[in-house]
Chain A
Amino acid sequence: MNLEEDLRRTLADERIALPGWPDPVTQVRDGIRRRRRRAVIVAALAAVAAVAIGTPTTLRLAAAPGGPPPAEPVPSPSVIPFVAIPTPPATTEPSSPRPTEAPCASDQLGPPTKVWSEGAAGHTFTTIEVRNSGARCTLAGTPSVVATDKKTNRRATVPTLPASYGADSEGREYPATVYPGDGARVEIVTAMGCAGGADPAIYIDVALRYAGGEHRVDTLELQTTCQIEVGRWYRELPAAATPPPRFATLLVSLEAPGSVRAGTNVNFVVVLTNPTGEPISLDPCPSYTMNFGKFSYAYGQLNCLVDQVPPHQSVRFAMILPISAETADKPDHVTWGFLNDDGDAPYASAPVRLE
């Protein structure tokens, strides 16, 4: 049986299952009520602070569903007009491999050299990254390791094996063709599970020898009872960064009309308030979703005529949501929120009566 099958079997085993909660609905409902109470308190405090520093007087908190209908919002000249911009498609990373360049010379790789280790079950995976300070060049193949054996004080090439793990790993490019400023990496694996628990060999003054020269990694000390494994030079492909929770601190409130008729549009204003002392960037421009009940909803991208929400200020966006003639679900509030959130992106609702 291979490892993938073992993993599937282990993860699918019934003994991993946990007992259900005695009353899950009450447990979750109580938690939501606590969250809502906290959110209202925080929003109220922020609104008080915002008013105190001169944000538009038309800003008001989103009322809870079922609350009293709000007054008509006061028109403001500072509202950014609504433009129906479709949500942009998800981006994908480019993946064309770099063409091979001339071999890197030792005088162009260099400091700083980064070294870090991760351990798992007796194995130590040490990654060494050298940085290219010269022209484009390529590090190919597996470097040999030259080091001083601490027991004998002799300096020699250390016998190694090709790494048995991670070969041709996705997310890495082999060979490592590095442009100025780029890093090339190689991994060394040591382990303490061999030789019947004998004293480990200790290597110091480690250097990597490759086609273009030798690179010393003086800070590195290798301890092992197993034969050292060395991988091939590679370049870590840039991963698309996890979107930062940059909107998490924005406060959203809505200025909505008291009522709307089915088959028409509801025009409302989204107010994004930055309660922090730092600007919050709107570049790239965020996407949003809005809805009025089950049948009236839309997605889009903000009309980002401004590229940030300045510290302690608000930016106001006009919104137009077509209201479906189908209103069997009897909606009573409009909701607006950022799209693609991870659960932390803010949103707001405001009561709107269906005429």
Chain B
Amino acid sequence: MAKWQAPPSFEEYVRDRHVELLRFAHALTGDRHLADDLVQDALERTGMRWERIRRQEDPEGYLRRIIVNRHLSRWRSLRRERLVAEPPERSYADAEPPDQVLWQLLGTLPRRQRAVLVLRFYEDLSEVQVAATLGCSVGAVKSYGSRGMARLRAAMAEPRVVKDGAR
């Protein structure tokens, strides 16, 4: 079997966009290492069918869909199957979001609610676009979003509880 060679446009895309994808995955998961895994997995899947994806749709949207859906449905198996030749040597110690309370509270939301909020308020997607990304109805997106916001709002009203009891 011939060794797979990345098309030049895919190499360029990976170089240009992987940092932004990492950031998106980090916002989605709150976990730096999981974000690494998800982006690696998504780029591998995308690379295997790059020409088709590039021609048929927006690659960024395709990648977002893979990252979100892999995170929501099967990231556990993903973690099992990921092969890392060398452990990363980077430290993440300096990265702390500004509003630590809100960042922590995002981590208490169910994954689907958090995904909706990240797609809406980080990626600035419309509800229709979020529904397409998640593969669910617009009604479900609205429901997840409003429930997530309600929980954040309720929790923000009790900062003392957040400090002591955030999960």
Taking Cβ atoms with an 8 Å cutoff, the residues of A that contact B are 3-4, 6-13, 15-21, 24-25, 27-37, 40, 64-67, 90, 92-93, 95, 118-123, 125, 164-166, 169-172, 189, 191-193, 236-237, 239-243, 289, 291, 293-294, 297, 335, 337, 342-343, 347
Contact = CB atoms under 8 A, between A and B. Distances in A.
Contacts of B15: 24-25
B44 A28 contact: yes
B96 interface: yes
B14 A24 contact: yes
Interface in B95-152: 95-99, 102-103, 105-106, 108-110, 117-118, 121-122, 132, 134-140, 142-147, 149-152
B40 A31 contact: yes
A245 to B, nearest CB: 8
Contact of A9 (B32, B51, B96, B99): B99
B95 A15 contact: yes
Contacts of B36: 18
B49 interface: yes
7 tightest CB-CB pairs across the interface, nearest first? Answer: A171-B143, A170-B142, A239-B140, A165-B150, A122-B161, A121-B155, A193-B161
Given A16-B23, A18-B19, A28-B43, A342 B135 contact: yes
Contacts, number: 228
A335 B52 contact: yes
B90 to A, nearest CB: 5
A7 B102 contact: yes
A110 B164 CA distance: 39
Given A35-B48, A166-B150, A343-B45, A28 B40 contact: yes
B98 A17 contact: no
A18 B22 contact: yes
Nearest to A163: B150
Chain B: number of interface residues, binned into ranges: 35 or more
Interface string B74-98: 0000000001010000101011111
Contact of A24 (B18, B48, B108): B18
Contact of A16 (B4, B26, B90, B156): B26
Given A11-B118, A11-B122, A242-B135, A343 B166 contact: no
Contacts of B26: 16-18
Given A34-B83, A193-B160, A343-B46, 4 more contacts: A10-B102, A25-B14, A32-B44, A343-B66
A61 B108 CA distance: 47
A10 B97 contact: yes
Contacts of B164: 122
B21 to A, nearest CB: 10
B134 A20 contact: no
A164 B49 CA distance: 48
B2 A239 contact: no
Interface in B32-64: 32, 35-36, 40-49, 51-52, 55-56
Nearest to A19: B90
B43 A165 contact: no
B95 A17 contact: yes
Contacts of B48: 32, 35-36
B52 A20 contact: no
A188 to B, nearest CB: 13
Nearest to A30: B85
Contacts of B135: 242-243, 342
A10 B151 contact: no
Given A10-B99, A28-B6, A120 B143 contact: no
